[in-house]
Structure 1
Amino acid sequence: MTPLFASAVAPVAGDDLIYHVHAAGDSDDAWCSVLAQIRERFRVRWAALARHSFATRAGLALYSAPRDPHLCAALSDYASRNPWFLSSDAYREGRVMAGEELLSNRELVKTDFYRGLMQPHGLYHRLCGVIARRSTLVYYLDLHRGPDEPRFGPREKNAFAALLPHLTLALDLRWRLRETDDMNRALRRIVNTHARAALLVDAQGRMVFDSGHAHGAAESVAGLRVEDGRIVAAAGADDRVLQEAIARATHASMNAEERTAQVLSLSAPGRSEPAVISVRAAGSVFSAELGEVRNLAIVTALNAPSEDEHADCAFVHQFGLSPAQARMSSLIVTGHSIASAARELHVSENTARSHLKQIFQKTDTHSQMELVHLHGRICISL
């Protein structure tokens, strides 16, 4: 029969506890399960993975076993009076120490921390391992036993020290997963709320960013449509041009000059003006589904989605266009002819040509297509 407080055994390769530590990932339930296993392995009353700020004196139990909301709340309430955190120098990443190394038990029992938190919950002996240190913020694992139970011995400290690097690595992985997930959600919100339709695709035109909004954004531009998860041109004759542009943008050997946006005019069935889009490289990403890295391109609709957008355009600000010139450039960039732009502006074609000539002078361009390309390079690069 195993003694109640048998010395802990150092974790080894193939250890079930080590497996669960590294498999915890970003699952709160899995981390709570890991704490329960650590509690059983080291025969302690309470195990807690917590953090403490030496700057604010605030503390928080992230996970614990057993899950005791009252004890976790007390740890936060008494964090500023925790006598084990009077000095930050002792809390170096990877260090394992018993409570007595920082404060004798004789002094501990005199503190409000002991009387208000430890004694009511039957805690006394402490073994602490520093998992991570970020400036004045420390993440640590605390193991606690009661006053009638044995203190932690050298063999248990060694076993704890052997476990600590695994916890450090697993916690760092959890943070990276959370950071990636949070950043992914933030970037998706940016794309979803952007005034233009911006779509991530791979070399085959398959949508990588495929939320419902992205599909709607693609289909709202008459020159594009989604077909079996791929972005294709609405007019079959334009699709070869579109797919070639995507292939160039996602080519692995593409040089710096080829990374500039490619501006395309696509036929837009049912509309009087064509759809104007840009295609440019968007870097590469590892695909968990394919198990390999794939290059991406961003397909962006340049057609102005609102009547007022031209006034806030970076292109307008850079070249100091007047309101009339800004509106004219917006119409030309979104595929209008001079005649169509004149009708939209309620001016004569001669007046429209005069506006366009002034725009050419200010932007040092000489044709409508050159103007479209310049607009695409400036606006898409911001």
Structure 2
Amino acid sequence: MTPLMPSVVAPVASDDLIYHVHAAGDSDEAWSGVLARIRAQFQVRWAALAQHSFATREARALYAAPPDPRLCEALADHSANNPWFLSSDAYREGRVLSGDELLSNRELVKTDFYRGMLLPHGLFHRLCGVIARRNALVYTLDLHRGPEEPRFGTRERHAFAALLPHLTLALDIRWRRRETEDMNRALTSMVNAQARAAMLVDEHAQLVFGSDGAKRACEGAAGLRIEHGRLVAAVSADDRALQDAIVSATRARTFDDAQAAHVLSLSAPGSAAPAVVAIRGAGPVFRAELGETRHLAIVTALNACAEDDHTDCAFVRQFGLSPAQARMNALIVTGHSIANAALALHISENTARSHLKQIFQKTDTHSQMELVHLHGRVCLSS
């Protein structure tokens, strides 16, 4: 590295630098640019935003200026011998530390860390700011100068300390956003992996989220359609019941009310059986594009996908249905009549009625619609 000329003018963290800290967002390139600006502002040889674990003694430079791969690798290789991290108590969020506060320069030059890391790269003086502390993990901004360059002065420490809260806030926002995005991605993958079609809609039935199964269901004969971003029943005569159920679910005032499912049977053109859908409250969500909080509802098409196995579901297990009863139940809850169920199972209608009567007894229900509603509630809560 090219040595820097000794400076007699201490820097002040500029508005331009602070602006770039908060504007960096999720861009690795932008954060590298921030480190380059910090390096120039404080006139140092090397600036690094680093992570160190007191539990494992491992460290790595997240961003550095200049982005010297050999220097970053040396920091990681010698992290276990870094004498500046012998005490975890010194590293409290927002604190500014100089290297000689933690270890005198006379003792520093005797260490393996100095001989293996600092000396080969012309580094000596250190100014460290603790950006964040997460249990045993600490995030620091380290500024380094060479032995022939001036130590960090009081005004530099003050300017550095004034910059730290901005770095802490910017990184915290970035981490929270990344956690949210990663969690959303994982939850979306989980929902898409399920056979059932699931959608989130607001009280006006505007689609907020739809799983892959939901999109396939609305394109097929599931009794639902998406028109201009709005969820509607495939048959207009059913739409009022659907819209009323959505409004009721979004206006649920208690947790128990929100968890109570509204189960509907909707006509499905082109299908031998009607669609069975369940609607329940999902709670409030802030919508930035609207500038307000909207209450959402979950709409689940219980029989939209052939992969659903109603013969081995939570409902069957909870009420101890026999295999014959489970097969009969599966047809009834997916909209088949007793006659159609008898044909599908190759049994007489009397036998089908007998199975259904036994199901009613085990589930304490008294009609096919009551059975459909109970099945929806049990399977949605499982």
Summarize the alignment of residues 87-166 of structure 1 with structure 2, pairs less than 5 Å apart. 87-166=87-166
Structure 1 residues 360 and 211: alpha-carbon distance in aligned structure 2, compared to 1, 3 A threshold: closer
Letter in 2 for 1:22: H
Letter in 2 for 1:5: S
Match of 1:30?
30
**CA positional deviation for 1:25:** 2.1
- 1:5 is the counterpart of 2:25: no
> Aligned to 2:208, what secondary structure does the other structure show?
coil
Gaps of 5+ in 1: none
**CA positional deviation for 1:327:** 1.6
**CA positional deviation for 1:57:** 0.9
Distance 2:349 2:26 in 1: 62
**CA positional deviation for 1:258:** 3.6
State, as a whole percentage, how many aligned pairs show the same letter: 71
Distance 1:164 1:336 in 2: 66
Match of 2:262?
262
Distance 2:193 2:330 in 1: 21
8 Å CA contact 1:360, 1:366 repeated in 2: yes
> Aligned to 1:67, what secondary structure does the other structure show?
coil
The one-character-per-residue Cα deviations of 1:167-215 (angstroms, maximum 9, x if unpaired) are 1111111110001100110111011111100011122222112576642
Match of 1:179?
179
> Aligned to 1:376, what secondary structure does the other structure show?
helix
* TM-score, reference length from structure 1: 0.94
8 Å CA contact 2:195, 2:308 repeated in 1: no
8 Å CA contact 1:304, 1:310 repeated in 2: no
Structure 1 residues 329 and 7: alpha-carbon distance in aligned structure 2, compared to 1, 3 A threshold: farther
**CA positional deviation for 1:312:** 3.3
Letter in 1 for 2:203: A
Say what the alpha-carbon RMSD is for the aligned residues: 1.8
> Aligned to 1:265, what secondary structure does the other structure show?
strand
- 1:289 is the counterpart of 2:289: yes
Match of 1:209?
209
* Mean CA deviation greater in 315-324 or 20-29: 20-29
Distance 1:47 1:312 in 2: 60
Match of 1:321?
321
> Aligned to 2:270, what secondary structure does the other structure show?
coil
Structure 1 residues 214 and 144: alpha-carbon distance in aligned structure 2, compared to 1, 3 A threshold: farther
Letter in 2 for 1:219: E
Letter in 1 for 2:120: P
- 1:219 is the counterpart of 2:219: yes
* Mean CA deviation greater in 155-164 or 301-310: 301-310
Letter in 2 for 1:181: E
Match of 2:55?
55
Summarize the alignment of residues 322-341 of structure 1 with structure 2, pairs less than 5 Å apart. 322-341=322-341
Distance 1:341 1:304 in 2: 18
Structure 1 residues 365 and 224: alpha-carbon distance in aligned structure 2, compared to 1, 3 A threshold: same
8 Å CA contact 2:221, 2:269 repeated in 1: no
**CA positional deviation for 1:305:** 2.9
Structure 1 residues 294 and 161: alpha-carbon distance in aligned structure 2, compared to 1, 3 A threshold: same
Distance 1:279 1:82 in 2: 58
**CA positional deviation for 1:4:** 5.7
The one-character-per-residue Cα deviations of 1:237-275 (angstroms, maximum 9, x if unpaired) are 111211221122223x64445421110110011112100
Gaps of 5+ in 2: none
8 Å CA contact 1:60, 1:76 repeated in 2: yes
Match of 1:40?
40
8 Å CA contact 2:303, 2:334 repeated in 1: yes
Structure 1 residues 304 and 291: alpha-carbon distance in aligned structure 2, compared to 1, 3 A threshold: closer
Match of 1:189?
189
8 Å CA contact 1:51, 1:62 repeated in 2: yes
> Aligned to 1:208, what secondary structure does the other structure show?
strand
Structure 1 residues 157 and 242: alpha-carbon distance in aligned structure 2, compared to 1, 3 A threshold: same
* Mean CA deviation greater in 180-189 or 237-246: 237-246
Number of residue-to-residue matches in the alignment: 377
Match of 2:199?
199
8 Å CA contact 1:224, 1:233 repeated in 2: yes
Distance 1:157 1:91 in 2: 16
Distance 2:316 2:306 in 1: 16
Match of 1:244?
244
**CA positional deviation for 1:308:** 6.8
> Aligned to 1:152, what secondary structure does the other structure show?
coil
**CA positional deviation for 1:5:** 2.3
8 Å CA contact 2:275, 2:304 repeated in 1: no
Distance 1:181 1:333 in 2: 37
Structure 1 residues 352 and 171: alpha-carbon distance in aligned structure 2, compared to 1, 3 A threshold: same
8 Å CA contact 1:48, 1:141 repeated in 2: yes
Distance 2:46 2:375 in 1: 63
Distance 1:182 1:35 in 2: 26
The one-character-per-residue Cα deviations of 1:149-170 (angstroms, maximum 9, x if unpaired) are 1011111111111111111111
* Mean CA deviation greater in 104-113 or 211-220: 211-220
Distance 2:379 2:230 in 1: 25
Structure 1 residues 117 and 217: alpha-carbon distance in aligned structure 2, compared to 1, 3 A threshold: farther
Letter in 1 for 2:207: M
- 1:380 is the counterpart of 2:380: yes
